[in-house]
Amino acid sequence: SEVILHSPKVSSLSADIEFYPDELKGVLVDENRDVSFGIIWENGAKYVDVQISVVSENPDILKIENATLMDERIREGLKNYTFTVRGVFLGYTSVTVKIADEHQSKEWHLKVSVVRQYNILVDIVTGLMAALVAFNYINMGVQLDMNVIGKVLKRPYGPTIGFFCQFLFMPLASYGISLLLLEDKSLQLGLFTLGCSPGGSMSNFWTLLFDGDVNLSVTMTFISTIAALAMMPLWIFTLGASLFRDRQATIPFVNLAGSLIILTLPIGIGLLIQQYSPRLSKISDRIIKPVTIVCVLFGISVGLYANSFVFYLFTWQVMLAGLSIAWGGYCFGAVVAWLFKLDKAQIIAVSIETAFQNPAVAFVMLVLSLPQPEADLSSVPVIAQLMLTGLPMWALLVATRIYRKFCKRTEKTDKKVYTVVEMNGAEDQCNM
């Protein structure tokens, strides 16, 4: 990625360079961008051999495509040159212009940022995902028991434990793990922001698939989303102030309100169906788990597709940080719920609710608060945690389903053996 432009003769490196533009911001991946620079040779220059070169500091982010010499012979005064850069991958880098002779050299640096291209297909697929989630929340509304939810709210042990795990353990754990494992401030900020986010829809879906307490799960998600309106600013502007530094943090209140609407409106429709349409309620009973499986699968696929760039940025530190906070949430939520003597279904709900945050809230906050490509770079640990939270759950779900089928077959075999033995015993008694 080094291009030699010219080798004129100047006796001294007393010169200055001006770039046009002075900073190269927002170069798109696969986009070519022309850059010019002018060399101002100071008065009194005499001719000796020098070499002018253009170098990309990180060719994996930005390449120098070509450079065109605009003035064949350098004399005193301003001389202009042009070169072309091409975005390769998102990130920050710089272009260095170097003037050197046999005895000395001088360098100038142009800061460059490369960002992702807009992809309308990502928006379309995300919209389909939102519609699928809303439809499945209607199904969940049909399954809810408002009497049970009323009892939960009268004695809110589960929601209180969930609140404690969600907004005390997760922010502190994500902050500590980010400082311990991640050196880059953007990565630390991304992990901490997710740790401060409320519970997401996937926690409700996974609770359903693992036969947890769905009433408690939905109640906790609703409460945590409302609480996030106060708890996110509290953590971001106190503990998170050291990570944001000179950046202006923007809390996504509109997105939080949208999450409440996406949660409550479909569930309200489902409750109306439960009350007034027994036929649709029976259909919902049959399809809710298959639709939930499709929803979770589609959600993971959309997340990985929309943010596929993060795989190039995964390191063992990022993976370990995501794994630690995800499974730390599972274990901490389960242990605390067990210590407070909640039943098995409630322990499952609290454990899953603690580990699964709302990634949309974290993403929107990062995009609103940070310039690109820093916002995308800070989302790397967010995707790592979501992947390491969801994918192992699939393995666990498949394992539990296989185990249950094996147990059922064993029970049927035992019953058959017991029946045969019983019949043989009866025949023996008759023969006697």
Q: For residue 233, say if its preceding peptide bond is cis, omega within 30 degrees of 0.
A: no
Whether residues 245 and 369 share a domain: the answer is yes
CB 381 within 8 Å of CB 194: yes
Whether residues 64 and 153 share a domain: the answer is no
Domain boundary among 77, 94, 115: 115
In this predicted structure, the answer to whether residue 384 has a pLDDT above a threshold of 70 is yes
CB 313 within 8 Å of CB 91: no
Q: pLDDT tens, 253-290?
A: 777 677 777 778 888 898 898 888 888 888 888 888 88
Whether residues 99 and 216 share a domain: the answer is no
* Residue 418 in domain: no
What is the domain extent for residue 323? 120-390
pLDDT band at 339 (very low <50, low <70, confident <90, very high): very high
* Residue 6 in domain: no
Whether residues 105 and 215 share a domain: the answer is no
Whether residues 246 and 337 share a domain: the answer is yes
* Residue 2 in domain: no
Q: pLDDT tens, 152-178?
A: 888 888 899 999 999 999 999 999 999
SS3 per residue for 39-51: EEECCCCCCCECE
Domain boundary among 99, 115, 131: 115
Whether residues 320 and 185 share a domain: the answer is yes
Whether residues 241 and 364 share a domain: the answer is yes
* Residue 269 in domain: yes
**CATH number (domain holding residue 367):** 1.20.1530.20
**Could you give the CA distance from residue 82 to residue 64 in angstroms, rounded to a whole number?**
11
**CATH number (domain holding residue 51):** 2.60.40.10
Whether residues 129 and 79 share a domain: the answer is no
**Could you give the CA distance from residue 74 to residue 409 in angstroms, rounded to a whole number?**
88
User: Model-level pTM?
Assistant: 0.77
Q: Structural domain tally of the chain?
A: 2
